[in-house]
Structure 1
Amino acid sequence: MSRYSVSRKGMGGRKPGEATKVVRLPLRVATIARRIAEGSLRPGDLNAFFNVEVRHTMTVPLMASPAACGFPSPADDYLDRPLDFNELLISNPSATFAVRISGDSMNGAGLFPGDIAIVDRSLSPFNGCVVLALIDGEFTIKRYRVKAGGIVLQAENKAFKDIVIPEDSAFEVWGVVKHAIRMF
């Protein structure tokens, strides 16, 4: 028997004729390899396998009193508990990602070109939320509206038309936009 063989019986999810190789692996490694081949890994499985901590905690001091944007107020001599941006922005780490915003269609919602949107894929869209959607292969960020005729993606800028989603279009909501980060 050669080192590489083609098996047609007991294929374990492989395509007929796909080359295989018999190797000895620790059961833990073999299980992960099998799940990779089957495509059954869930978000975070590889991180757990390699014992990788996804969350890197870094905090910054948070002042106990707000800073007035109008008339100056006296500063307090103490700080509140440290602020962890992971805790503030991310509720589900394995389902959260960021995307840079381009275009002006969402200016009325406070989303401007160059901002970074924090998107949570674990949340289902609801009427009035802001979503990252994929329409016929193109990404867009819009307000999600459920109307009698179906789904409408609403722009927050009068210069842009709303997008009515036809039933035959390739449409998918990739996640709900939870936060935006703006750099000056």
Structure 2
Amino acid sequence: MNPINSRGGRRSNAGRKPGPATRVVRLPVPLADIARRMNERGFRAGDVNAFLDVEARTAQTVPLMSTTASCGFPSPADDYMDGPLDFNELIVTNPPATFAVRVAGESMTGAGIFPGDIAVVDRSRAPVNGCIVLACLDGEFTIKRYQLRADGISLQAENPAFPSLDIGEGQELEIWGVVSRSIRML
């Protein structure tokens, strides 16, 4: 056998396996990791747990006092306690479609959402005019007020120092969910 003729050409089991068509796309690393997990685990629309690292935990409750606490003049405290308060029930209405994201930036301070806050996002809620959404615009996540206008969609900042984002032709917009709560850590 001539060694020159045994090189090159097709080899058995070489190259990519046949499958769905692919294309190279540049994504921010966190988004690429999510896409990789979606591909590995499979994905059903609305089931965030299928691709995010979310684990179910047992319910934990804390006592809830039946009295209110005055922020003005002090009032005598009652010894009466109301039923237990489960923060999961208070914050999450649809667990399979809910996840949280830490807020960065100051464009939503007018709506009471500050850097370092945790936004609770519900993927099962459809965006309506005036609600606050987590959107992926051209591959980057942003939290803004969703505005439907006659000429299209606008993502409005709640801080006059930041411009609103008018969605133009050719831009990719995906609404990941409606922000249902914002949690501030003091």
Q: Percent identity?
A: 60
- Could you tell me which runs of 5 or more consecutive residues in structure 2 were left unpaired when the two chains were aligned: 1-12, 21-38
Tell me what 2:78 maps to.
76
TM-score, normalized by length of structure 1?
0.73
Tell me what 2:173 maps to.
171
Aligned partner (choices 15, 19, 22) of residue 15 of structure 1:
19
Aligned partner (choices 53, 56, 62) of residue 54 of structure 1:
56
Aligned residues: 147
Compared CA separation, residues 135 and 76, structure 1 to 2 (3 A): same
Compared CA separation, residues 85 and 148, structure 1 to 2 (3 A): same
Tell me what 1:121 maps to.
123
CA contact (8 A) 2:49 2:97 kept: no
* 1:37 shift after superposition: 8.1
Distance in 1 between the 2:57 and 2:160 partners? 40
Aligned partner (choices 119, 139, 146) of residue 141 of structure 2:
139
Deviations 1:143-183 (A, max 9, x none): 10111111111111011111101132110000000001111
CA contact (8 A) 1:54 1:93 kept: no
- Could you tell me which runs of 5 or more consecutive residues in structure 1 were left unpaired when the two chains were aligned: 1-5, 7-13, 17-35, 47-52
Distance in 2 between the 1:124 and 1:145 partners? 13
Distance in 2 between the 1:118 and 1:64 partners? 26
Distance in 2 between the 1:152 and 1:122 partners? 21
Q: What SS is found at the alignment partner of 1:152? A: strand
* 1:105 shift after superposition: 0.4
Q: What SS is found at the alignment partner of 1:139? A: strand
Tell me the amino acid that sits aligned with residue 173 of structure 1.
Answer: I
* 1:55 shift after superposition: 4.6
Compared CA separation, residues 152 and 41, structure 1 to 2 (3 A): closer
Tell me what 1:160 maps to.
162
CA contact (8 A) 1:130 1:141 kept: yes
Compared CA separation, residues 93 and 55, structure 1 to 2 (3 A): farther
Q: What SS is found at the alignment partner of 1:87? A: helix
Compared CA separation, residues 174 and 44, structure 1 to 2 (3 A): closer
CA contact (8 A) 1:100 1:115 kept: yes
Q: What SS is found at the alignment partner of 1:131? A: strand
- CA-atom RMSD in angstroms: 2.4
Tell me the amino acid that sits aligned with residue 83 of structure 1.
Answer: L
Distance in 2 between the 1:180 and 1:44 partners? 19
CA contact (8 A) 2:61 2:85 kept: yes
Tell me the amino acid that sits aligned with residue 169 of structure 1.
Answer: Q
CA contact (8 A) 1:128 1:144 kept: yes
Tell me the amino acid that sits aligned with residue 15 of structure 1.
Answer: G
